[in-house]
Structure 1
Amino acid sequence: MGILAVLALPLLLLGISGIIYLYQSVRWLLSKSAVQNKVVVITDAISGLGKECSRVFHTGGARLVLCGRTWEKLEALYDALISVTDPSMTYAPKLILLDISDINCIRDVAKEILNCYGCVDILINNASMKVKGAVQSISLELDKKIMDANYFGPITLTKAILPNMISRRTGQIVLINSIQGKIGIPFRAAYAASKHAAVGFFDCLRAEMEEFDISVSTVNPTFICSYHRQPAPGNWEASIWKFFFRKVAYGVHPVDVAEEVLRTVSRKKREVLMANPIPRAAVYIRTFFPELFFAIVASEYLQRKYLLWRHGTKLLLLLQVPLLM
């Protein structure tokens, strides 16, 4: 009896873990089946996140239309996708040249996109441009360029594709945005402004598209990391540091975001916030306790300026991974 009592808890935990694993596996398979045969357009498919989204949707059996600014990189992505999948189970992606910041060419490119399969089921607005610097150091021309890439580009493409979805009374539009569409932090004024504008547009669009059964989703991750360094074999401390670095300090990994985008599409979620506890808390503090949020952000800014004056540029560079990234 004593042995059974000792084994009961581990067996219970093992059983619960097995059920959770099976549940997650079933959900993942259902997510993939939801995009099978769907026409999926991904902008900036050659970026780190774009490649992961392309991989996830390609293996799910979607008919991909991949957009990017560089033909050679699009071809390399094409080769990478078809080399690791069964051609009888997947579709060869279509490739389209698109610079999302070139507003004048987007409508013509949208016609090319529609000509690929005659329709678009899912549009994933992934293209984005970042800039970092004090407000007074960013030129108005750069402000406009950021707004073109992050706001006017995505909405122009969306408006060009939208009539096709409305006529078919079906479709889904996904905006991969940023947590900085919810909160603003120092040295990100142009970027945060463009992301706030995009959130406002797609929130309004979501309400307007309800009558046409068109879903509008926004995915707001924190800083998307590109942490690839591996710890030395057997270096336990390095492994723990890598986990901390990736999950706490450096935001979310492109693989995690791509998988969340797939889940968002399959469940037609309206909004997703991908953030660790501290930046997630900052969003709620900004909403319910704005004065406290402003004070925290201002003190962070002043502390950095003091450290820069006291210790020089190198120390400031070490602090350029803010908690609200």
Structure 2
Amino acid sequence: MTAKTFHRTLLVGAIAGLFAAASLTASANLSSRFTDADGDLVADAPTDESQWADPSTLVFAYTPVEDPAVYAEVWADFLAHMEEVTGKNVQFFPVQSNAAQLEAMRAGRLHVAGFNTGSNPIAVNCAGFVPFTMMASEDGSFGYEMEIITYPGSGIESVSDLAGRSMAFTSPTSNSGFKAPSALLGSEFGLVPDEDFDTAFSGSHDNSILGVINKDYESAAIANSVSSRMLARGVINEGDFDVIYTSQTFPTTSYGHVYNLHPELVEKVQDAFFSYDWEDSALQAEFANSGESQFIPITFNEHWAVIRTIDEANGVTYDCN
């Protein structure tokens, strides 16, 4: 058994033990602004048709990354396809933070978006986000792993070596960049952030990876799907960092719409995702690097159960009002 396989097996066991007593169908904690009559844990469309949003321009945002301009180009062909399917203008909104993305949807300025794994619950509960799809490989498999990385020669060779050192997280809403490592390091190794090791927030997985490589951070918790794409683009090189921990597979970024989008427009938006031809597209060139080549249907109730459980384990609650 390789060291990486051992770490993965160990972490899978840790998650199973940590969450055994927690319900995987945690009830929704929706803002009082929303209703959930059908019990699917996401906000229902308003019953009053006058509250349905039917904008002339749809605003789309991808989860925050270090250089949004890169992803504006990656998504350009897809958004042109969405314009064709919906009959609407579609504008790319280059968000700089999870907070900005959440606030934009909550305020009604963002209609369609990709929210990262960890921010899905708060987007659903506080901003009225309704996820319906995510990227997957040709065989329908999906997801990514959380990795803890360090730079070669740091003296950190295992998780226990993090005691007395420092680690970069990405943002408090990130699953692999904060929530999962916080829960797992505490439960399995007795390492508590800011007590047993110093912490910093980098703002994004890209920043954390580059920060470790440049020795700004001694270690970092990242999503390996991001490092895979950075490697493929030549932004970083093999051997720039060492992986000391690899997690179980988590669901990746989900895509969806704001709850009050006109139902007929919702159908067209969904059709835009599921009818998109990936072949020879910029989307394929970018996301094939992390093994993704299609959009598949998902539900927040089923596919985000493990993430809601991690939130429970971390004592996360939502006060959206």
Relative contact order: is structure 1 or structure 2 higher (C-alpha 8 Å, sep ≥ 6)? 2
TM-score in terms of structure 2 length: 0.26
TM-score by length of structure 1 reads 0.26
